[in-house]
Amino acid sequence: MILFHYIHKNSLLHRMDGRLKLLCLLLVSLSASFASVWWQYLLLMSLLIVSMVIARLPITDLINDLRYFAVVLVFVLLVNTFIACVDPTTSLTLKPVSMPSFHRGWHFAGRLVLVILACIVMTGTTSLTTMKNTFEWYLQPIPYIPKARIATMMSLSIVFVPLTLDCYTETSNAQKSRCVELQKNPVKRAILLTLPLVYRALQQTDEIVYAMQSRCYSESRTQAEFQTGKTDWLVLVTCVMSFLACLL
Amino acid sequence: MSDNSVPLLETQSLTHVFADKAVAIKNINLKVNRGDFIIIAGANGSGKTVFVRHLNGLLTPSKGKVLIDGVPIQKNIAVTRRRVGLIFQDSNTQIIGQTVAEDVAFGPLNLTLPVVEVKRIVQDALAAVGLTEHANRNPHTLSSGQKKRLAIAGVLAMRPDIIIFDEPFTGLDYPGVIQILQQLVDLHQAGYTIILITHELEKALAHANRLIVLDQGELVVEGSPAAVIHLVSEYGVRMPLEHVEKTSSLTWLR
Ligand SMILES: Nc1ncnc2c1ncn2[C@@H]1O[C@H](COP(=O)(O)OP(=O)(O)O)[C@@H](O)[C@H]1O
Ligand SMILES: [Mg+2]
């Protein structure tokens, strides 16, 4: 499963300024929600596929992972086709299949696909640290927000994720090798797995905090530096233009 | 350079009692001089980790104090943490960065050094531990020995005076142990003061100028390796089998 993982490459999009990339993500997602004609979908789709090629993301592997989302897409399609939410006061009603609602289903599914692809490009080409620095930068001008605290929380969760995943794999393997699968009650199994995980997680938090402290962590650190190249602006302009095209 | 009569690091009747009333260390007095290579041995749970975590102020003593260059470390905890580098037993929890290079940069960035300088420091530190070619890798995919070296690079990047290794050989294969041991000896030769926690005396004792044994939180043995080696087996530390009178032969190097 490599969906939404950072995939280290040295491409134009990997080197791109995170702040502009986040803007591009926003623009593409907005464009997707405004798109209404087939060529607009096609435009956005090709834009995203081209960026995946440029970023040298492993497209076949990603598509393979996307099959889990296929279930969601079919669900969206079905819900939109068969159920109309006429107005919020009356409850959901089932209605006969009609051409317009079928179309609306397709639109929803199409938008979802576009947004998922945009997120894949974003997460695949942006390391979590860059992501964190970007958010931090956008938080700067907002008053009354404990930016440094939020940045610390983001750093901690970033550090924590791989450790917890490792721990999950270890614990579940350890329990499997002692035949936890014979335990048929899924709730019990979940509890058996969760308790040691939470315990280890708490222990590890202590250690991580010590590790950060012993390397002088404080909330005033060197600020991240961003470098904006000409091509970065070019990518942004491309996204703005496709956004305008989708407004038509 | 400070006055020779003032030890680089000193603990005075250091005592730590945990919230559950467990006395982890009791009345430890120790002087660490510049250029020392000290080995701390002791059975599991004898208080070795708790003791060294006081030396850079991660833990605060219940009684007693820690002095660096004769000044209590609480006076400037950030400087102490920079000067006293600590390599944890579990390298995994010491990994902060997403890539190897980023992890090494963590400390210098905390010291608010400019980005250009941090880059140079990171390169030097990675070269010192032989991880340059792995700079862009995900640190969690490194081998145990490489993770240990990454932790060392992270500490070197802080330009410390003292480096403390908490059981660095645990979980390493034979080449891994040799590599870390060589690194330790090289660092000592380069002028760093070394404190090494290990109960595997046969691996490294030859390089140490002082041996200390903790037992149930108390410092029970202290002296030059040759003078005190015959005392260790009383305190749950395996007595190296070879000729005890020749402590200089106790190393895995060469
Ligand atoms: N956070 C803690 N809370 C309570 N007791 C602790 C804690 N950490 C360590 N101890 C106790 O302190 C003693 C010394 O532990 P430690 O220094 O880790 O031993 P070791 O010599 O194996 O490194 C042990 O008895 C341990 O149970
Ligand atoms: Mg220990």
Region B2-30 average pLDDT: 89
Element (H, E) at B226: helix B225-228
**Consecutive H or E run containing B127:** helix B115-128
CA distance A185 to A167: 23
Residue B22 and residue B17: Cα distance in Å, rounded?
Answer: 6
CA angle B73, B74, B77 (to 5 degrees): 75
Residues B29-43 as b or e (16 or more Cβ within 10 Å = b): ebbbebebbbbbbbe
Query: What per-residue confidence (pLDDT) applies to A219?
Result: 81
User: Mutate which of B15, B16, B49 to test ligand 1's pocket (most atoms within 8 Å of Cβ)?
Assistant: B49
User: Which pLDDT does position B146 carry in this prediction?
Assistant: 95
CA-to-CA distance for A26 and A103, rounded, in angstroms? 25
| Secondary structure string (H, E, C) spanning chain A | CCCCCCCCCCCHHHHCCHHHHHHHHHHHHHHHHHCCCHHHHHHHHHHHHHHHHHCCCCHHHHHHHHHHHHHHHHHHHHHHHHEECCCCCCCCEECCCCHHHHHHHHHHHHHHHHHHHHHHHHHHHCCHHHHHHHHHHHHCCCCCCCHHHHHHHHHHHHHHHHHHHHHHHHHHHHHHCCCHHHCCCHHHHHHHHHHHHHHHHHHHHHHHHHHHHHCCCCCCCCCCCCCCCHHHHHHHHHHHHHHHHHHC
Report helix angle A99-125 to A59-82, nearest 10.
150
Q: Is the CB of B52 under 6 A from ligand 1?
A: no
Mutate to test the interface with A, among B98, B100, B122 (most CBs of A within 10 A): B98
Question: What is the CA angle A18-A23-A29, rounded to 5?
Answer: 125
Query: Does the pLDDT at position B244 exceed 70?
Result: no
| pLDDT band with cut points at 50, 70 and 90 for residue B231 | confident
Among positive and negative, which fits the CA dihedral B192, B196, B201, B204?
A: negative
Phi, psi (5° rounding) for residue B183? -60, -45
The complex's ipTM works out to: 0.83
| Residue pointed to by tokens 């989302």 | A69
Residue A154 Cα to ligand 1 middle (Å)? 30
Q: For position B217, what pLDDT does the model report?
A: 94
Question: Among A215-224, B6-15, B34-43, which stretch is predicted with the lowest mean pLDDT?
Answer: A215-224
As a whole-number percent, the residues of chain B with pLDDT over 70 amount to 96
* The pLDDT value given to residue B242: 57
Higher pLDDT, B159 or A183: B159
Helix (H, G, I), strand (E, B) or coil at B116: helix
CA-closest residue to ligand 1 atom 3: B18
Q: Which residue has the higher pLDDT, B57 or A99?
A: B57
Instruction: Quote the pLDDT of residue B243.
Output: 53
Atom of ligand 1 nearest to the CA of B20: 4
pLDDT band with cut points at 50, 70 and 90 for residue B1:
very low
Across the interface, do B97 and A208 touch by the CB < 8 Å criterion? no
Neighbours of A149 (CB within 10 A): 10
| Cβ–Cβ below 8 Å for A163 and B81 | no
Taking CA atoms, what residue in A is nearest to B151?
Answer: A211
Which protein residues have their CB within 5 A of the ion that is ligand 2? B 49
- Residues of chain B in contact with residue A202, where contact means CB-CB under 8 angstroms, are none
C-alpha dihedral (A209, A214, A218, A220), degrees to nearest 10: -140
Reduce the DSSP state of residue B218 to 3 states and report it: strand
The beta-carbon neighbor of A211 closest among B94, B113, B138 is B94
| Candidate from B82, B94, B136 with C-beta closest to A216 | B82
Residue B101's H or E segment, with its range, is: helix B100-110
B119 touches chain A (CB under 8 A): no
The answer for A 159-178 residues in CB contact with B (under 8 A) is 159, 162-163, 166
What's the one-letter identity of residue B198?
T
Note the pLDDT of residue B8.
95
Mean pLDDT for B201-205 is: 89
Q: Pick from B110, B115, B138, B159 the residue to mutate for testing the A interface (most A CBs within 10 Å).
A: B110
Minimum-distance CB partner of B154 among A127, A129, A215: A215
The CA A153 to ligand 2 mean position distance, Å, reads: 28
A192: Cα separation from own chain's centroid = 30
CATH of B9-253, one of 3.40.1280.10, 1.10.3720.10, 3.40.50.300, 3.40.190.10: 3.40.50.300
User: Which amino acid is it at A132?
Assistant: K
Sort out which chain A residues have CB atoms less than 8 A from B118's CB and list them.
222
pLDDT at residue number A129: 85
What is the rounded CA–CA span in Å between residue B54 and residue A106?
Answer: 63
The DSSP bridge pattern shows strands B37-42 and B210-215 to be parallel
Question: Are A166 and B136 inside 8 Å of each other by CB?
Answer: no
Residue B102: closest CA among chain A residues belongs to which residue? A129
Query: CA-CA distance, B212 to B205, in Å (whole number)?
Result: 11
Each residue's pLDDT tens digit, B163-192:
999 999 998 999 999 999 999 999 999 999
Eight-class DSSP state of B17: E
- Indicate the residue of B78, B97, B118 with minimum beta-carbon distance to A216: B78
Q: What is the pLDDT of residue B176?
A: 93
Which residues of chain A register pLDDT less than 50? none
Which of A52-61, A225-234, B203-212, B242-251 is the least confident region? B242-251
